[in-house]
Each structure stands twice: as C-alpha cells, then as structure tokens.
Structure 1
Amino acid sequence: MPTFIRGATILAMGGRHQSTPFTGDILIVGDRIEAIGANLPVPEGATLIEGAGKLVMPGLINAHLHSGEALFKGRYDNLPLELWMLYSYPILGAKALAERMIYLRSMVVAIESLKTGVTSLTDDIFEAPRQSFSQLGAAVQAYDDAGIRATVSGHVMDRDFLDSIPFSREYVPTDLQAEVAKLTPPTTEEYLDFAREAYAAFHGRSGRIRFMLAPSAPQRCTVELMQAVNELALEWKVPFHTHIVETKVQGVTGPALYGKTLMRYMADLGLMHPGTTIAHSVWVTPDDIALMGEAGVSIVHNIISNQKLGSGIAPVRDLLDAGVNVALGSDGICSNDTPRMFDVMHACGLIHKVTTPDYKKWLSAAEVLHACTLAGARSALIDREVGSLEVGKKADLLVLDLNTVSFTPRNDILNHLVYCENGSSIEKVMVNGEIVVENGRLTKIDEAALLAELQAAMPSFNAYHAGVERANKAFEPHFDAVYRRCNQTDLGIHRLIGASDIWPAKAS
C-alpha cells in the first residue's frame, strides 16, 4: 500500500531543490520514493499523512561509530585517546563477549539512533580479543530487528599493538612487551575468509544491511592485509574504512615509523581512492589534504569525540576546498557518549567558527546538513540510494513537527535544524519505506524490555570489566610518557591543542 505525504515543508538535500525548503507532496511506493512535487494526485487506498505544519527531510546519517563501546557509555572522562583505549579497547585480559550481550549492546545504539533521527549508520565493530562470525551476526540481527539501515564491519588489526605506537618500545617494560607479544592477531587469509563469509551472509539483508572492509589504521595493519582487503573492497564496491591521524601521537607516527605522513604512506601503497573513507583526519598537512582531494576520498568528521579526547579539530574548510567529501560521525559510544547526530551537527556548526577569524570560511548550516545526509551516504557508497529525497531513492526520511519550541519563531529552517533542534520535534522516522518510530516509540521492538534485560546483565559485566581495567592500568604511565613526548613534537600543524605549552620541553 502506498504512502502519501500531503502539503509538507520538504527539505530534499538533493535534486533540483537541494537545501531550499519548499511545500509539496511525496508519494512512497514500497521502499522507494515514487514522486515529489506540488498538488500530486492521491492514489486510491494510499496511507495519508497530512504534512501541514510538518517538515520532511532525509534521515540523518552517522558515518562512523563503534557500537562496541556502548557498554562503557558514561564511564570515562579526561583521558586522551592513547590512554582511553587501554580501558575501552584493552590490550590484555579481554574475553569474548556473549552474543546476547552484543545484541543488546547494538540495540542500545539502534534505539537511540532511530529515536533521534538517524536512519543509517556505519558501525566499525571491534571485538576483543578478535571478532567471530556469530558475534557480528548478533549485531546485524539487532539492527535488522530494529529496522535501521546499517553498514557493518569486522574491524581488524594484525600487527603487535606496541609497534603501532611510536617510542612505546622505549617506555613499556619488557615484561609487559612480552605479554603483548603472546597475543595472536588474525592472519591475512583468516581475515579474508571471515570477510567473505560475512559478506555472503549479511550484505543486502532486508535491503538495509551492508558489509564493509575495515582495517583499523595503516600503522596497525600490515601492508599485505591492507592491500588484500582493498582489492576485495573494490571488487565488492564497499568502503575501505579506516582511521588516520586522529591524534597528535598519530601525526608523529607516520614520520617516526615510515619517514612520511600516514596519508602519503597510504597513497604510496595505492590505498587512496573514492572508495576510501577515513575517520578523523585531524593532523593532516597541506600536502596530505592535496593528496586526499586528488584521490577523491571521504573523511568522517567526529567533532564531539575529537573534543572529548582532546584530539584536535580537523581542517574541514581546507578539506572541502580540496574536494574531499566530508561526512559526520558520532564515533564511539564512550568517546562521545551518544550516537545523536543533531548534537554532532550543532557542535560542527559552532566549533569551526573559532578556528579562524575569517568568518567567510565558517561552515554554513547547509554545509553541515549536507555532511550529515548526502555526504554521509557518499562515505558509505550508498549515495545513489539514500541521503536525499529524490525520485527513485529509498524512502529514508524524518517527519518533524514545526509547531515546537525548537522551530519557534521559525526563521531559517536550516539554522533551526543545526542550532535549535535536538530530535525532540521528530514525529515519525521512516526507513526503507517503513515507519520505524512513531511519536517517540519504536514500532518493531519492545524497547523497555530490551533495556531492562541489559540493565540486569550489567553488574556481572562491570565486575568482569573492572578486572580488565586493572590489568591494563599497568600500561598507563608508559603510554602517558609517549603521549607527552609526541605532544611536544612540532609538526608545523596547529589544531588548537597546546600540549607543548602545558608541559616543559622535556618530560621529567
């Protein structure tokens, strides 16, 4: 049965109207938009949604998150990435998480995402000590049950973790180094076999689930693994999704390990192309930015996470001017600590106003919204399907009430969306032509029962994880020394992190 939205204010973010709101109708047949325009005929038997006083816009796209952190939501603060990872991505002591806990953990992400207007997410899923096919299946099942669109991965690294951190061998005691050396990462063939099995099982499920390849970062993966994974990504037309220069430590890593920046290292390996999506890109040089633009890569700007971890501010205007596709992401659910993309848009719209006094270079609300819709879809290689309201595209959309405090007195709707709205005006969320949220309630699952089940399981999990934290605390003073040393290094790039002004030239 078709759905007809009549007389709404429409923000299409694509096609002829782009970011200019207009009044019109939308006809949805099956999972796709059949027609958009003014005074369209209402098909017989169609489900009618009156659009007067409503805004219809594309669903928001979270282009980079880690659902594995959802069990640590609200747990950590005032730690930079290198120390924070000791507890959220522990080196020692982690054991395989039960599939039911992964399902519930993923549901927490799906529920909050959908209720706040996210219709599509890219989940780079890490499991310690390594991910199994059935563990990934539990996350996929949760997203499938909730009704969200998701691109999921098997996050992988195959190098000794200490070899990915510059100077760590100088600071980490040999007994701890020996413990790390006992860990056995997957081989290239083992990961490729896992990826092929996951792709065959999950890619295309329900018309909403996709699989992608996600080597963690160039310093954490062997050349053999990255190049083999890249070949599969190109063959399957899925993203090659990775992390590059999130922190100043990582800015130091390329020159320290390879004698060149990590972006140049990636380019020299043939791994920079339009299918490459890079999370963060904070500590990039002008030459890096030119390389990225020439290659046509996407980056995901995780502005709230980068603030919470003190990582810096990505040079978004320079990246956009170079032709880089810039999407927005929440990043991990304990480095943010939420997948709410209205929050991310708000932060993005504000933060870049303090990076330069040249106000003509500040981001506009239209640019921020584009990053959270069509650019996000482009980063996941699904922009021909979603990201804007256009005839033939999937019906992933939001219906918001314009008669709310957030839209009063209703001046520029784009500014209201970026600076005033927080998701509370959402009445309906549609994914793949199906209403999955109605008046704040998920239609496909029992939210209260799922949350109660997870709450009941948390005391046991927290007791286990407290032991993991104790085991990894032994690394903290040594990683602290690495962090301080790297933040005293002059890269010739300023990202509003003044660590060299905080500490003396040499750490005692």
Structure 2
Amino acid sequence: MTTFIRGATLLAMGGGTGAEPFTGDLLIEGDRIAAIGPSLPVPEGATIIEGAGKLVMPGLVNAHLHSNEALFKGRYDNMPLEVWMLYAYPIRAAKALPPRLVYLRSMLVAMESLRTGVTCITDDLYESPRSELELMGAAIDAYDDVGIRATVSAHVVNRNFLDTIPFTRDYVPAHLQEEIDAIQPVTTPDYLAFVREAHARFHGRSGRIRTMLAPSAPQRCTPELMLAANELAKEWNAPFHTHIVETKVQSVTGPEFYGKSLVAYMDDLGLLNPWTTIAHSIWVSDSDIERMGRAGVSVCHNAISNQKLGAGSAPVRKLLTAGVNVGLGSDGICSNDTPRIFDVMKAAALMHKVNNPDWSRWLNASEVLHAATLGGARTALLQEETGSLEVGKKADLLILDAETASFTPLNDIRNHLVYCENGSSIEKVFVNGEMVVENGRLTRVDEKALLAELRALMPEFLEYTKGVEAANGELEPAFTKVVQRCNAMDVGMTRWASDA
C-alpha cells in the first residue's frame, strides 16, 4: 500500500525540523514513511491525499495509562490516591472479570484514544485480584483488532498491601489486618514465569504490540522481584515501568521504610537506567532529580490525574534541565476519566505557569508537543520507531483539518495544537501505515455495536462493584487517618506550588 500526502503543512517533531512547521509532501510505503520533503515525485499507483489546508503531525503517545480502570470512569471524585485506590484497586472481595468484559473495557479505551489522535499507548495493566494470561490476552486482542500500537504490562505488587503504606497498622482494625495478611502475594519465580510466557505469546504481534516489565513501585515490590524484572527489561530492550513518589504519603514512605528517598533507594539498587520509566515523580528533591538525570531515566507526567487526586505537580522544568526525558500520560481512566492526550497537553502547559514565578522557565508549546510525541515514544523505548515524521519510521500520523475554528485565525500552529485543539479537527489517523480512523470513524471495528455490548454488561458489573466498594469502604477511615498523618509531616518540599 502506497499513500502520498501532497502539499500539506507538516509538523515533523524530528529529522532536523523539530517543531517548526513547513509545507511539503509525505510518502508512505507499507508500514513506514518512505520520503518527506517539498515537491516529491508521486509514485505510480499511489493513493493521493491532497494536503492543502491540512496539518500532518505524528500520532500522540499516551506514555502511562491503566486501562483496567475504564469501567469506573466518571465514578469517583474528591479522594486522595491512597483512599481512591481502595475502590479502583480493591484488595477485598475482588474477583477476576470475564475475558469478554476485559476485551470490551480495553476496546473502549483504544477507540477513544485513536479517534482523539493517540496512536501509541503504554498500558500498565493491572487486574484485581491478580494478573492472568487470558485477561492480558483479551486486552491485547482488543488493541490488535482496533489497530493501535500498544506496549502492555503485567503490573505486579508482591508485598502485603498493608506493608506498602506507612502507619496502616496503627489504624486498620485487627480483624481486617488478619484477613489481608492471609492474602498470598505472587512470588518472584511465579512472576518471572508469567512475564516470560506473556512475552513469548504477545510480543511483536502485528508489528504493533510489545510487552514490558512493570513492578508497581519500590515500596510495593521486593528488591528480588525488581532486580529480576530489571534484568529482563535490559535483555528484551523493554521498559522497566514503575511508579515513584506520586503523593505526599509516598514521600514519607521512603524515609520511613528505607531511611532515604524512594529515588535514592532505587538508585542504590541499580534500578535507575535509560530503560527505566517513572510514572509521576512529583515529590522529588533536587538530589533525586540529579540522580534521575545522571541515569537518563524517563518520567511520565500525568498532569490531569495528579490534579484530580490532589497529588501535586511534578517539577517538569527541573527534570528537563537535569536531562530527564519527559512524556505525557493520561494515567488511569478513572483518575483522569479519559485517555485524551490533547487534554493532558493543555493541562501540562498551564499548570506549570502557576507554580513557577520565573516565566522564562515556563513550558512552551514546542516542549509540550515533544513530550506528547517523541518524548512519549522514548518512555516506551520506541523513539526509533514512532513519535516523529522521519524517513524509515513507522507511519503513525494524524491528518487534521487546519481550517476549523480551532485553527482560525491561524497564528502559531504549535500554540493552536496545545491550547485550542481538542482532537475534533482530526480527519484521518494512520498507524503502521494503515488508515485506522477516517472522518471520525474507526475503520477496523464497529464502535457503536461494541459500546452497546459493553453497556448491556454494565448492570451486572455495577451490582458486583457495589459489594466490592462496601467491603473496601471498611478500610477508608483508617486510610484517611494515614493520609492526614502523612500530610502533616514535614518532608522539606511541597509539590502543590513549587517548580522554581
């Protein structure tokens, strides 16, 4: 299949032009970009797309999402992370979902992602009560069927839940502690067997699906498991994807558990590397940032989720200055409630203007676009394959109508994309050289039928969810006290108003 886009405005985000738009042509042959530049010859038999009045740019990358939350979208509000997790990641009364429901849940996320310009996702997939190959396969089947590029994990926690958060045993009633203590976490050998089988089954499917290693967080996993996962990540050239210091509670956790910050703990274990991707990185000190920059890690900045959960604001300017690569993520589909990266771009661009009085250090639109494209690709170790329009890279791109209200009057295209556009101007979406969205319609699946099927299953799921919520709600008073206690502690920094 050969496609020729003629005379469009191109925003390459790489290849020497970076975020400077220019007018030119783009040739797709098979799954890759074959040529890009002005006045290219049109190959015989090519499908021609006239680019006058159109903007062509790389597909957006969602560097961190949890699709498993999608059935809770719009359900929870006004909870800090540690309380919210009781409901979104229940430890009591949870049971494995039917594979078809997992397929539809994943398809819900993927369909909205593609229609709003996200061509590549990193799904840090967690199933309650634990990962199962059949369920991971159901999610991957959805991504394969719809045509999106996806890196998918088997997110793992292998420590007792009560021992992952400080002070819980001071407040959780004894009978509930006894019940939770009886839950057997996955062992390191069992986890390694699982991820090896998942990698063998799913990695490389359709040229779009990859697997990764995802130990949940340093306080939630044993050193043995994290070190073993890190070795596999290095061997497979896969991301080591984890969460570090998202909340004030977690900033207290490092000193309480290890006598040092969680970043320092990871560094001392040898777990900060160029293939390490950290979700959040909010409550980090200057010393932490220096360690991260020296190691060449990536950070996924989840600007909307961090605000909804009251977690704080990552010091993105400091991270960039230190040499940390930054991508953008939606985070969970009920801590953000959508996978739309256009929304995240605007939030990220705005929130850092209010936490730094030095406006010369505010993020500009080009930096935000880089984080949403090439920076995001780097978090998944896909920067050589996607994230920019360059010869030899995968043809993952968007064609937008540049004559809509979002681009009128047209001033700086980059500012329009970050501050004015919301995905509604998208006309076509290509992934792997294939048009997967045309005029707002998904070309590979029947979105209306799939949504109707999911809606039909929701009453039974919601009835089950009410029971799970009631069981885990018994823990909420204790976890409220934990959060309040940690919030009152002095950790020598604030992430509600500081990125100076």
- What does residue 178 of structure 1 align with? 178
CA deviation string 1:203-242 (max 9, x = no partner): 1100000000000000000011000111000000000000
Give the drift of 1:494: 1.4
Report whether the alignment pairs 1:10 with 2:16. Answer: no
2:29 aligns to what? 29
- Give the total of aligned pairs: 498
Q: Determine the C-alpha separation between the residues in 1 that align with 2:491 and 2:370.
A: 31
**What is the deviation of 1:71?**
0.2
2:435 counterpart letter in structure 1: I
* In 1, Cα distance between equivalents of 2:472 and 2:241: 27
1:347 aligns with 2:341: no
Residue 109, structure 1, aligned to residue 106, structure 2: no
* Distance (whole Å) between structure 1 residues aligned to residue 35 and residue 276 of structure 2: 33
Aligned to 1:118: 118
Partner of 2:470: 470
Q: Is the aligned partner of 1:168 residue 2:165?
A: no
What's 1:314 paired with?
Answer: 314
Taking the TM superposition and a 5 Å limit, the aligned residue runs for 1:58-69 are: 58-69=58-69
Kindly state the Cα deviation for residue 306 of structure 1 after the two structures are TM-superposed.
0.2
- In structure 2, the residue matched to 1:218 is 218
Tell me, yes or no, if structure 1 residue 153 matches structure 2 residue 168.
no
Q: Which aligned runs of 4 or more in structure 1 are off by greater than 4 angstroms?
A: none
Provide the residue aligned with 1:131 in structure 2: 131
TM-score relative to the length of structure 1 = 0.98
Code of the aligned partner of 1:411: N
Unpaired runs of at least 5, structure 1: 499-508
- CA apart distance, 1:170: 0.9
Q: Partners of 1:429 and 1:119 in 2: how far apart?
A: 8
In 2, are the aligned partners of 1:151 and 1:209 still within 8 Å (CA)?
yes
CA distance in 2, matches of 1:96, 1:121: 24
Structure 2: distance between partners of 1:222 and 1:185: 11
1:368-379 superposed matches below 5 A: 368-379=368-379
Which residue pairs with 1:334 in the alignment?
Answer: 334
1-structure distance, mates of 2:249, 2:105: 30
1:92 is matched with 92
State yes or no: 1:78 paired with 2:78: yes
Correspondence 1:236-255 to 2 at 5 A: 236-255=236-255
2:230 is aligned to 230
Secondary structure at 1:370 match in 2? helix
CA distance in 1, matches of 2:16, 2:326: 21
DSSP-derived class of the 2:290 partner = helix
| Superposed displacement of residue 174, structure 1 | 1.2
Separation in 1, partners of 2:361, 2:130: 43
Distance 1:198 1:318 in 2: 37
The residue identity in structure 2 corresponding to 1:346 is K
1:13-37 CA-partner distances (Å, limit 9, x unpaired):
0011111000000011000000001
CA offsets, 1:243-270, max 9 Å, x none? Answer: 0000000000000000000000000001
**What corresponds to 1:415 in structure 2?**
415
Residue 184 of structure 1, CA deviation: 1.4
Looking at structure 2, the residues matched to 349 and 254 of structure 1 have their Cα atoms a distance apart, in angstroms, of 30
TM-score (norm 2): 0.99
Q: Show CA shifts across 1:76-109 (max 9, x none).
A: 0000000000000011000011100000000000
The amino acid across from 2:332 in the alignment is G
- Counterpart position of 1:505: none
Query: Counterpart in 2 of 1:429?
Result: 429
Aligned alpha-carbon RMSD (Å): 0.7
Q: CA deviation at 1:182?
A: 1.5
Superposed CA offset, 1:417-460 (max 9, x none): 00000000000000000000000000000000000000000000
Contact (CA 8 Å) 1:116, 1:423: kept in 2 or not? yes
SS, match of residue 178 in structure 1:
helix
In structure 1, what is the Cα distance between the partners aligned to 2:25 and 2:283? Answer: 45
Contact 1:310–1:497 at 8 Å: present in 2 too?
no
1:263 matched residue in structure 2: 263
Residue 439 of structure 2 corresponds to residue 439 of structure 1: yes
**Amino-acid identity (%):** 70
Shift of 1:357: 1.2
Q: Which residue of 2 aligns with 1:209?
A: 209
Q: Shift of residue 351 of structure 1?
A: 0.5
Residues in 2 aligned to 1:162 and 1:410: alpha-carbon distance in whole angstroms: 54
- Is residue 354–residue 497 contact of structure 2 (8 Å, CA) maintained in 1? no
Letter in 2 for 1:442: L
* More displaced 10-residue stretch of structure 1: 110-119 or 183-192: 183-192
Partners of 1:154 and 1:102 in 2: CA distance: 14
Provide the residue aligned with 1:502 in structure 2: none
Distance in 2 between residues matched to 1:250 and 1:352, nearest whole Å? 22
- SS of equivalent to 2:213: strand
- Read off the aligned partner of 1:456 and give its amino acid letter: A
Q: Deviations over 1:29-79 (max 9, x none)?
A: 000000001110100000000000000000000000000000000000000
Displacement, 1:497?
A: 6.9
Maintained 8 Å contact 1:158/1:221: yes
Supply the distance in 2 between the matched residues of 1:104 and 1:76 (Cα, whole angstroms): 21
Gaps of 5+ in 2: none
Partner amino acid, structure 2, of 1:393 = K
User: What do residues 340-391 of structure 1 show as CA deviations (whole Å, max 9, x unaligned)?
Assistant: 0000000001000001111000000000000000000000001000000000
Secondary structure of 1:215's counterpart equals coil
Q: Which residue of 1 aligns with 2:285?
A: 285
Q: Offset of 1:408 from its aligned partner? A: 0.2
Query: Does the CA contact (< 8 Å) of 1:311 and 1:497 recur in 2?
Result: no
Partner AA of 2:381 in structure 1: L
Superposition pairs of residues 359-374 of structure 1, within 5 angstroms? 359-374=359-374
TM-aligned CA deviation for residue 404 of structure 1: 0.2
Whole-angstrom distance in 1 between the partners of 2:311 and 2:138: 32
Aligned match of 1:506: none
For residue 358 of structure 1, what is the aligned residue in structure 2? Answer: 358
